[in-house]
Amino acid sequence: MASQAARLKQKEQPGPYLRPVITAFTNTGSTGVFIYKGVEISTSSTSAEAFHRQRSEIVNIINACIGQRFSTFSTDPVLLTSEIFDPVNMLAEDNINAIQQYGDSELRKLCEHFEPLLTSYGCNVAEVEREWLKAKYDIVHYHKREAFLVLWQRMLT
């Protein structure tokens, strides 16, 4: 995950929001006396090394919490089946038989999982497969090179 890599990087190198704050702090040489944008901060007993260690510990704690929360993100069957909607995963337009079959079992799994929600919003789940077939042909022929978000913004409006 890109966000996890970015958070891990911040253990060693502050990110674009933290960097200006850290560079605005200057150590006066006296223990616990820092200056931030011209204002003396003398209530801290934290050394520069301790500050770096605390920042690293905080990043570790955040990474552990987020990692635990999203640990099944790459293995969750419902999330994995939703990859059929990414146009990069679609097949070539010259393979008609493969297009007809593409994503059908995944779509059925998604419909089973979300059926109560879909029906509560008035979706006719029985029509989903027919609509999916039309959508696949449209995507493969006219939208194959579009980014995921752009494609589905167009398809859903």
Q: So what's the pLDDT on residue 128?
A: 94
Starting at the edge strand found earlier in the chain, the sheet holding 39-41 runs 25-27, 34-36, 39-41
For residue 85, count other CB atoms closer than 10 A to its CB: 19
Judge whether residue 41 has pLDDT over 80: no
Question: Kindly report the CA angle at 134 between 133 and 140, in degrees rounded to 5?
Answer: 90
Higher pLDDT, 121 or 72: 121
**114/73 Cα distance (integer angstroms):** 18
**113/122 Cα distance (integer angstroms):** 16
Dump pLDDT digits (tens) for 6-18.
767 776 777 788 7
**Among 20-29, 65-74, 113-122, 130-139, the least confident range:** 20-29
* pTM as predicted: 0.57
What percent of the chain has pLDDT above 90?
22
Q: Which residues pair with 36 in a beta bridge?
A: 25, 39
Is residue 27 within 8 A of residue 45, CB to CB? The reply is: no
Average pLDDT in the chain: 82
Range 125-131, long-range pairs (CB < 8 A, 24+ positions): 129/104
Q: Which distant-in-sequence residues (6+ apart) come within 8 Å of 4 by Cβ?
A: 63, 66, 67
